[in-house]
Structure 1
């Protein structure tokens, strides 16, 4: 359903038994929307949780973006949605860029967030984008499309818009084979249902992506935010996921005293879609323990 939230209409999918522990899914992308996650996990997680999934402002089934966008705006939307729904406290699942937003939200509003699940998050864009290009390098070489890639990888400074754009542009050289690096070896035929959504909805998401990736908040390394995370947290990593860097994992393990870490062998970026039953069981056990 579409809900009026802070001057726009957000698409909200709420499912599960009344009185179950509330759980907010924060999608990544930026601009991916909640459709894929709900296709794989909506029915599974709603068996035990009051599951709330929202397409962020301007994304997919929400109204088109008609103004500025930033992390702070999206997080304020989440808070307004929580109060509108009458939820006192909830836990969070953040996938990919959604892990970036979930960390910001949990640190900014510790009194309303019980626990946090991070699935293949991107907390530091310099590290995450380098990991992404490194994961693509064998395929780029196979396609003879690796010109200049070594120079891009040599950069070791903080994230900048130019660095981000150059590294993402490299990924576009993969063409139709781009998704190969995101899927585990046993899930090469995994279909993401959102691919079949109308072009109009994808265009909305594209506008969100352009707007959010130009902001300083997007480029800021959030590793120091992990030092301020007070809630119990679970980091889920697909073994062959091309996003979360080893440095980010190490920082989480050494700086989050209430943190747990779980790797899924031979799984890529979409653990929730490649191993749906195991994923739902792990998340449920962690959130209800």
Structure 2
């Protein structure tokens, strides 16, 4: 349903008992929306938790953007939603680019977060896209990764997304484990073209914002709550450098290596993912 939050309307998919421990899902993309995660995990996790999937402002089933957007806006939206729902503290689960937002949220408002789960996060956008393009290049003979120094820029983001876009229909080969290549993400076909257009507008705006280039890896050492990092064996996003920093810097961190899966463990091994997250949060 659409919920008025701050100066917009957010699509909020809430499942599970009202008095169950609350869990916020923070989607990636940028602009991916919560539809796919909730399709695979919403009802499963709702057996033990009050699961709250939110389309970020301007994304998919939320109201379209009417101006610029920053990562700070997304965090402020989540905080306003938490207060609106009367939740004192919730756990968060950030997937892909959502892991970056979840990390910023958890260290900006630590009293609001009980535990944090990161599934194949893209914390540092330069490192994450290094890894992503590196996974694509073996399928693109003759294409190279241009050298880059400095922070992420919109131009660099667009250039690297364009490289991955050259894979065309083969794009999902780098995101899924070899035994899961026939997996279909329902949002690709079940979400209206209008909503996909909104997601594209969001991605264009957020990658232009100064917040998109800001470093966040220093926040790992500031995580004040138990944290779980899930890394798929074939995931093309989370870099080795980010994993090492998590394992060395997070005060109360748990690392889980998910054999056989790629970027979408929550869909590729849905039941195992549910058990893993449920056990950690409990």
Whether TM exceeds 0.5 here: the answer is yes
**Residue 221, structure 1, aligned to residue 223, structure 2:** no
Would you say the 8 A contact 2:152–2:212 is kept in 1?
Answer: no
Distance 1:159 1:253 in 2: 24
Match of 2:97 in 1: 97
State the SS of the aligned residue for 2:135: helix
Match of 2:232 in 1: 238
Distance 1:76 1:158 in 2: 24
Greater CA drift, 204-213 or 160-169: 160-169
Superposed displacement of residue 266, structure 1: 1.6
Superposed displacement of residue 133, structure 1: 0.7
Q: Which runs of 4+ in 1 moved over 4 A?
A: none
**Residue 159, structure 1, aligned to residue 152, structure 2:** yes
Would you say the 8 A contact 1:94–1:100 is kept in 2?
Answer: yes
Match of 2:26 in 1: 26
Distance 1:182 1:201 in 2: 22
State the SS of the aligned residue for 1:77: helix
Would you say the 8 A contact 2:123–2:217 is kept in 1?
Answer: yes
Distance 1:221 1:184 in 2: 30
- Kindly report the root-mean-square deviation, in angstroms, between the aligned alpha carbons of the 2 structures: 1.0
Greater CA drift, 250-259 or 167-176: 167-176
Distance 1:251 1:46 in 2: 32
Would you say the 8 A contact 1:231–1:258 is kept in 2?
Answer: yes
Question: Quick one: which of 174, 178, 182 aligns to 1:189?
Answer: 182
Taking structure 2 as the reference length, the TM-score comes to 0.97
**Residue 170, structure 1, aligned to residue 149, structure 2:** no
- 5+ residue gaps, structure 2, are none
Would you say the 8 A contact 2:90–2:114 is kept in 1?
Answer: yes
Taking structure 1 as the reference length, the TM-score comes to 0.95
Match of 2:274 in 1: 280
Q: How many residues align?
A: 281
Would you say the 8 A contact 2:221–2:250 is kept in 1?
Answer: yes
Match of 2:133 in 1: 133
Match of 2:200 in 1: 206
- 5+ residue gaps, structure 1, are none
